[in-house]
A and B are shown apart, each in its own frame.
Chain A
Amino acid sequence: MIELHGIERRFQVGDQVVHALRDLDLTLADGDYAAVMGPSGSGKSTLLNILGLLDRPDAGSYRLDGIETTRLPEERRARLRRERIGFVFQAFHLIPRLTAAENVELPLTLAGRPVRERRQQVAAALEAMGLTPRADHRPDQLSGGQRQRVAIARATVTRPGLLLADEPTGNLDRASGDDVIAALEALNAQGLTLVVVTHDQHLGERARRRIHMDDGAVLAD
């Protein structure tokens, strides 16, 4: 359950103050599937960063599963990210020197889980993405679609409740893009809350909720 109330986010650009988000309210129920759409600079990436606890709003309240997050210390926010939120980026952000399996293992390693438990969960996450035969490949040995599916496996290996995807198909061709969308939607069907930021009309149409943004505010929901 996500509840945003009166979220403000301002950036200082030169001597000008830019309002990336102004007085934004948004509620997402568990298992929601929302596409955030809008032109560049409309504040959709800022919204995603705030939802992912990577950024703090200047004003307003953000309750994640009933926990007020805006005033939590960084340590606690890192822990919430680790346990409840998964990220999928446009540029994949896989670590090039690690294999697919090791990249997927990363969040579990950071959480300090025991090795045996890690191995099982990594195997399961890779299997779910159909990547078991690719487990020992490094990112440069994988196709774009495979890389993004490794990233999805990494985002879901800790079984978070919320998956945030920033232009997940932006660097992919149509066919691999469709694969990735199918994978994300399958996860949503299992109950994961899915928020996708996209320019892609085709992708946006598939979501149950379409949130159109412009100039830091929600135009239509």
Chain B
Amino acid sequence: MQPTDTLTSAARALTAHPTRTWLTLAAMAFATAAVVLLSALGEGARRYVLDEFMQLGTHLLIIVPGRHETTGGMPPLFGETPRDLTLGDAQALLRSRHVERVAPITVGAAEVSVGALSREVTILGSTADFIDVRRLTLAAGRFLPPGDPDRALPVAVLGQTLAEALFRGESPIGRRLRIGDRRFRVIGLLSAGGVSLGSNLADAAIIPVASAQALFDDPGLFRVLVQAGGRESLDTAADDIRAIIRARHEGEDDVTVITQDALLGTFDRILGALTLAVAGIAAISLAVAGVLIMNVMLVSVSQRTPEVGLLKALGARQRDVLGLFLTEALLLACAGTVAGIALAYAGVWLFNAQFPAFQLVVPVWAPLAAALVSIGTGLLFGLLPARRAARLDPVRALNEA
């Protein structure tokens, strides 16, 4: 038989049972759509998280005291206690021409009170550059004043949630409050957008780093955020930072420099794997649809047994019959897949129109993988019924009616 004849014969056999064909197509289409939609959901989540990270700034370096990476050298003989990362260290980093801004950070928890109202919140000590390094914006007032970071000014910038809790909707600017046993004046209010992955600045107060060090009685820094001159100078900036710290710490390499890229890469891998897993689970529904195709084909073969007998009497070879039924199964799978991919894109479009804040993104591989898997399913599950048809005994098949 010529391939085109096989194709038209199979198509006509399918259209002879419209209900059965439509139902099978629907099952296949829904399964394919599930795979594509779920992977679009995963990809959307990945992009959402990456975007959040981008808000932190892409040329960000984070310096953490202590060495967290092993280099495979000799184990330290003298118990290596990492040196504190000090304000002086942070200021010294500005000597590198690849470092644009430096924001030292101390973190602690303290009770913040206004009159009788009090709240235990995160207190962040930093400098004027913090707002630019973290890409934050203010809703009112101003941020910490620039100048000597060693001066412990009694000023604070509040997050939205904290300000709301303490001042009940009144403007907090210029008001006084207590943090621990010290008095501070509110000079700024962060905008609501100040929530970003990892830390919630809405329920926090930001004070000058020297004030925080005095408050917590700890000269060590929690982190130092460094903004490099550009994306391309990240590596040189990291090298400079290590060299500067080493020089200041008597040759000890006792800090860890994390680049934004490394962090981003990790999240990217985790979320990518998650997307694949979710798509894999959805692929189970494809297998279910495949079983349905097999069922339909088996019914079709038993209903058309006399027809198979006739084809054999007319000189059809086993492979002609096999080809006919396999083509039918494949047609079902292909048409279902095409409809399913169209359905998925329609669903994505609808969702994105409804929820602009979280966008679904269909990854390029998803429709391709869905198509491959469902065509494979069609072949696999179509094979058994087709072989049954091909091996029918013509005499018995003809007399069965």
Contacts and interface: CB of A to CB of B under 8 A. Distances in A.
B5 interface: yes
Contact of A78 (B13, B309, B312, B395): B312
B310 A49 contact: no
Interface string B1-18: 110010001001100100
Given A55-B395, A110-B1, A95 B310 contact: yes
A109 B1 contact: yes
Contacts, number: 63
A33 interface: no
Contacts of A78: 312, 315-318
A97 B310 contact: no
Contact of A74 (B13, B16, B318, B401): B318
A195 B96 CA distance: 105
Interface residues of A, number: 26
Contacts of B320: 110
Contact of B311 (A79, A110, A112): A110
A82 B1 CA distance: 12
A135 interface: no
Contacts of B194: none
B314 interface: yes
A107 B12 contact: no
Interface in A77-105: 78-79, 81-83, 87, 89, 91, 93, 95-98
A109 B315 contact: no
Given A55-B395, A93-B398, A82 B306 contact: no
Given A49-B395, A54-B395, A93-B306, A81 B12 contact: no
A45 to B, nearest CB: 9
B313 interface: yes
B219 interface: no
Given A54-B395, A95-B307, A97-B13, A112 B316 contact: no
Contact of B12 (A89, A98, A110, A112): A98
Contacts of A96: 16
A75 interface: yes
Interface in B163-178: none
B395 A111 contact: no
B154 interface: no
B394 interface: yes
Interface of B is mostly: helix
Interface of A: 49, 52, 54-55, 74-75, 78-79, 81-83, 87, 89, 91, 93, 95-98, 106-107, 109-112, 154
B395 A110 contact: no
Across the A-B interface, give the 6 residue pairs with the lowest CB-CB distance, nearest first: A82-B315, A97-B16, A81-B315, A107-B314, A78-B317, A93-B310
Contacts of B307: 93, 95
Contact of B398 (A82, A89, A110): A89
Nearest to A97: B16
B380 to A, nearest CB: 25
Contact of A83 (B12, B310, B315, B394): B315
A65 to B, nearest CB: 16
Interface of B: 1-2, 5, 9, 12-13, 16, 306-307, 309-318, 320, 394-395, 398, 401
7 contacts: A78-B316, A81-B313, A89-B398, A97-B13, A98-B12, A110-B1, A110-B311
A87 B314 contact: yes
A87 B313 contact: yes
Contacts of B316: 78, 110
Contact of A54 (B9, B312, B317): B312
A135 to B, nearest CB: 17
A81 B310 contact: no
Nearest to B397: A54
Nearest to B314: A107
A93 B312 CA distance: 12
A75 B312 CA distance: 11
Contacts of B5: 109, 112
Nearest to B315: A82
B304 to A, nearest CB: 9
A91 B315 contact: no
Contacts of A107: 314-315
